[in-house]
Structure 1
Amino acid sequence: MHGTEAPSAWVQRWTHLIPPQATALDLACGAGRHMRWLQAQGLQVTGVDRSPEAIAACTGLGELVCADIENGPWPLPGRQFGAVVVTNYLWRPLLPTVLASLAPGGVLIYETFAQGHETVGRPSRADFLLRPGELLQAFGTLRTVAYEDGYLENPARFVQRIAAVRETPHPEAPTRHRLQPLSS
């Protein structure tokens, strides 16, 4: 089943920014590859997906919500999380809700397909491909820790990805997170 592969290297790289014992939302969680990873890091996880089969594959990983977030109401109104993780999913009308779901001090880790991907595979419709700088614009109120927009191999894909933090409400003492050295 799609979603059982290893967690995204981007998600793995930036997970250390998430506050210990935080709650984490895996949006469009699929079969739970990131739920498994986040749970193994000691986080309380919530997964949302529209597929009952995907949700069933996540049994025992945390709170599970089967909901069509593109055609129905947001299933977690008013809730905020210490982390929101989104990979390989884009529904632009939901971007403000993703932002609102991030608690102060929380971390957003987002990675999905970008323009150019139509030349190497699916998705190929512009509706599902980020425009240059779109994640920076959508999450511009957050402190960007890392951002990339480009081509990756194995498998061939064009992606855009961001790791960002919602600042705590004390601007005189901004949140700074420990960066990990790049692997050689």
Structure 2
Amino acid sequence: MFTGIVEERGSVTAVEPGRLSVRGPLVTSDARYGDSIAVNGVCLTVTEVEGDVFTVDVMGETYKRTALGDLVVDAPVNLERALPANGRLGGHIVQGHVDGVGRIAARRPEAEWETVHIDAPEALLRYIVEKGSIAVDGVSLTVAGLRDGGFTVGLIPVTLAATTLGAAAVGATVHLEVDVLAKHVERLLEVRA
């Protein structure tokens, strides 16, 4: 489990079929074989650590559901280690199981923050509610509003500076993970019907 509080921005060092290597000095400081690290919100399992670079295997299903296949060497990525049992839940419950890919539709700088409009797949919109939580590229955010075909979030200065969302251009793809509790409630209601 993760919190959506990005620990550092890393960079991709190697892209091979079914494998990805990423530089992240903080997240590798205590990483071991088998640990989970979220890369742009995707929970991946560490298969190797060498210095400040970790390597993960990426399955075909993960490539199919995410934009990890678009990563190139030197691409910046958001990194977060799995939450320890005694850790602080500073964001919200994030599993690292990406539900779909969205697209940044517009950005509007404000006085102290930036408003970002994100297009989302129709199948995910029913789980997205105003003032609810959503993870965008692994970043825990609050939904500021809903609009046709998507939603709006506000990025505060620390989020703009500490995550890849600060430099993500209009048209960029982003990983979306909706609230797992909403999906469980829906499933329970389906079973009862």
- Which bracket does the TM-score occupy, shorter chain normalised? under 0.3
Higher relative contact order (CA 8 A, sep 6+): 2
Q: Greater strand share, 1 or 2?
A: 2
Task: With the length of structure 2 as denominator, give the TM-score of the two structures.
Answer: 0.23
